[in-house]
Amino acid sequence: MMEQYHALKAQAEGCLLFYRMGDFFELFFDDAKQAAAILDIALTARGKDSGEPVPMCGVPVHAAEGYLARLIKAGCRVAIAEQVETPEQAKKRGGYKALVQRDIVRFVTAGTLTEEALLEPRRANMLAAVCEVRGIIGLASCDISTGQMVLEECDAESLNAALARIGASEVVAPEGWESVPEDAIERPRADFSSDEGERLLKSLHEVKTLDAFGDFSRAMLAAGGGLIAYLDHVGRGNLPLLLPPRIRAGNAQLAMDEATRASLEILVSQQGGRPGSLIAAVDRCVSGAGARQLADDLSSPLCDLSAISQRLALVDYFHRDPLLRADLREVLRALPDIGRALGRVVAGRGSPRDLGQIRDGLAEARRIRDFLSQKTDRPPLLDALLPMMAGHGALVDMMQRALIAAPPTERSNGGYIAEGYDAALDELRSVSGNARRAIAALEARYRTDTGIAALKIKHNGVLGYFIEVPAKHADPLMSADSGFTHRQTMAGAVRFNSLSLHEEAGRINEAGGHALVAEDAHFEQLTSAVVADRQAIAVTADALSRLDVSAGQAERAAESDWCRPEISESTTLEILGGRHPVVEAALAKSGDRFVANDCILDESDRLWLIGGPNMGGKSTFLRQNALIVLLAQAGGYVPAASARIGLVDRLFSRVGASDNLAKGRSTFMVEMVETAAILSQATDRSFVILDEVGRGTSTYDGLALAWAVVEAVHETNRSRCLFATHYHELARLADSCDSLSLHHVRAREWKGDLVLLHELAEGPADRSYGLAVARLAGIPKPVVKRAKSVLDKLEKGRAETGGLAAGLGDLPLFAAIIEQEGTQDTGILAQLMETDVDALSPREALELIYRLKQDAQAAEL
């Protein structure tokens, strides 16, 4: 057995090997150690290898999916080695000691999952293949759980951004390629041949030319070939559902780089999960398919004005009719995920339950189509979706007649074909049922004939049917003329057979076996019908998910009074009463109100320089406007009183401090790399948000860099831009930059406390309130006092000599605090000494105390 195991392990290519032994998948050696640690199961030993015990652990076959999910989540890949013959077949082939033949039937990897238990219902599971042909990067991506496949190309600089947009669970690339993405699985270079890719696509979709699908470049075809070859490899020759590929044009979507996606937290928050992300605040879809479609919309906002307008019109249609929206969402909520059920069926992993889900989903789609077809004033996109939900009448009718109402997940036990669909099958079931009744009658007769009331007829998987009596009653049945044949003696019982029982058992087994074969044939027939109609079923699934997204967007807009944005070809960005969707939702949970702000950028005022204190809302204001642009171009309503948005081609966000120590990059290096990408790629149709450029280096260097970046964005890129900064000196740029204006977030000090108003106002900030924010954050008072004394010296030196550090000189440690505290104490004492306490009225005395306290608090700051 170990020889067979080692041979299969050599084929597993570094994967954990699930070795089938009866009702368990066993793992051995290092695989067992690794799996036992991840799964928290017992690590045992079996036999010896080279004199050492062989580590072993195992998981039950019936529960394997749950264990696989945990292994895949931990970053493992698994090879499944199944028994490909029965023990009886093995005995016929090689005698009593012949080893059952096993083979790897499938590789389970992060990007090739189809099982319902292994997938997140509201998240697509993408696999990507990437390669280079003559300097052009080809990129193929697919979600095999639904069959969607996309081909595109990009340049080397845009590859990381494209992979970030796709969010692939797994990436494959040619081995030895110098630009192979991090953590990619390297495959033979021969797999990434454009000629072979073209041949595979033609063969897969049974066409002689790909012209009907699009004009694919050689790089796209090479990447597509690599993707299909990998799927063929992991499926061991069984390809999953792959629909005809679509081309993703580079200029059809709003471009965002990896840093911008991370900064805006579109699908994943900075904490690494869905909570706190944009999609968590926006998603009101009632189906997993709708949620996956919404995620794709937010990841790839459109740049086509007509397509955006069509999506907005459909959202508006449902927004204006709450009753229609509620009725539609109620139906969609009950729909099964027919896209993923279809994926399992086409991949050969389908169950009767999957067929039932497809039947029920298509039947409901037809009713939704009939219902919506009766409505008037339908928007164009709805008219385009309605025909996509038609054309399945014959298939649905056949499956409604063939399947029971709630088919099981297992097909091996039968019972899923409805009564009345196949007369021969009904007869076999009747024979089997009658035989069971005959066995019950036989049991009653044997009890009467023998006088043994405890006699029972039982069944198990080894002996089949047998008669069992207590041991004390067995002697009369042992005689040769009793009509019973001894089979087995147990501790407290004896088992027998009889001719009548043998005949009845034969009839049951024969009828039951024939019934299972008949049901299995019907299953294959239904599966073939579904596979033949797979493209039309997938189109219906897409239409249902688009309806869910549109109705969900309308529901979200109605919840919080969002508005329909006006999209145009201009370069205007006019957002009135804009709010941050994630922050507003978080504040609403605590009963707080979000302070809305306006943002109006046009050709004469396209760059805002924004100052003010930390925690005052600058970063929130920057991000909320970027998110509003993203939501609008994804085709949804936006959190604002009104919004007029000129199409944005690229969206850039350089907000927040981060580092990448794995790549040897400090926080400041990351900041500069991201800023460099903005300056080299942003256009006059881009929207850029920049926060605190230059803060990671010395004050002079940072100020110089920030100054130069503002000038470049204004003069060279000419982008619409929000630039937040603490460098007050940048305000002077308003004198030389015609399209730059100054703004600040408002704050006030009241009785020594800093009050953050979160409102945006015109004009430069008077100061940064850094010391006040530090005190709010809990910095010890002596440190804050020391900082104030240093600040006073700095400002005095700059005023007198023009030098930032002038005036510090040989400032002794804490000398300024001592001097300040002495001055403070002297002033208060002087006021007290000059006061005639006896002449004060109670009110005047109270006012004096308040005044002295206010003076003391002011001195602390």
Task: Report the binding-site residues for ATP.
Answer: 612-619
* Rounded Cα–Cα distance for residues 770 and 804 (Å): 17
Amino acid at 839: A
Contact 734, 744 (CB under 8 A): no
Residue pair 533/392 in contact (Cβ under 8 Å)? The answer is yes
Q: Answer yes or no: are the C-beta atoms of 556 and 285 closer than 8 Å.
A: no
User: Cβ distance 134 to 220 under 8 Å?
Assistant: no
Q: How far apart are CA 677 and CA 853, in angstroms?
A: 53
| Of 185, 609, 122, 42, residue with least CA distance to 339 | 122
In angstroms, the CA 298 to CA 300 distance is 5
Computed on alpha carbons and rounded to an integer, the radius of gyration of the chain in Å comes to: 37
**351/411 Cα distance (integer angstroms):** 6
Q: Are 458 and 484 in contact (CB under 8 A)?
A: no
Element (H, E) at 849: helix 842-860
H or E element, residue 53: strand 52-60
Q: For residues 624 and 632, give the distance between their C-alpha atoms in angstroms, rounded to a whole number.
A: 12
Nearest-CA neighbor of 793 among 780, 801, 754, 699? Answer: 801
Give CA separation, 29 vs 36, 46, 107, 385, 720, in Å: 11, 10, 19, 55, 60
* Phi, psi for 477 (deg, rounded to 5): -85, -10
**518 alpha-carbon distance from chain centroid:** 41
Copy the structure tokens of residue 811: 């400032």
* Helices (H), ranges, 58-211: 64-73, 87-94, 159-166, 194-205
Numbered residues of the known binding site: 612-619
Retrieve residue 696's tokens: 């990671």
Rounded Cα distance between 621 and 627, Å, is 10
Of the candidates 288, 410, 295, 343, the residue with the CA atom closest to the CA atom of residue 115: 343
Token representation of residue 107: 């590789």
> Does an H or E element contain 809, and which?
none
- Whole-number Å distance between alpha carbons of 414 and 523: 10
DSSP state of 417: B
H-helix or E-strand containing 551? helix 534-560
Any residues with CB less than 8 A from the CB of 140 and at least 6 apart, and which?
A: 128, 129, 130, 149, 150, 151, 220, 223, 224, 226, 227, 245
Q: To the nearest 10°, report the CA torsion of 533, 538, 543, 547.
A: 130
Whole-Å CA distances, 506 to 86, 87, 258, 436, 500: 22, 22, 67, 11, 10
Concatenating the DSSP letter of every residue in 283-340 gives: ---SSHHHHHHHHHHHHS-B--HHHHHHHHHHHHHHHS-HHHHHHHHHHHHT---HHH
9 backbone dihedrals φ, ψ, rounded to 5°: -65, -35
Measured from the Cβ of residue 499, the count of other Cβ atoms closer than 10 Å reads 10
HSE-up (13 A, CA, CB side) for residue 742: 18
CB 96 within 8 A of CB 138: no
Q: What is the DSSP letter of 13?
A: T
Instruction: Please report, as a single letter, which amino acid is at residue 236.
Output: R
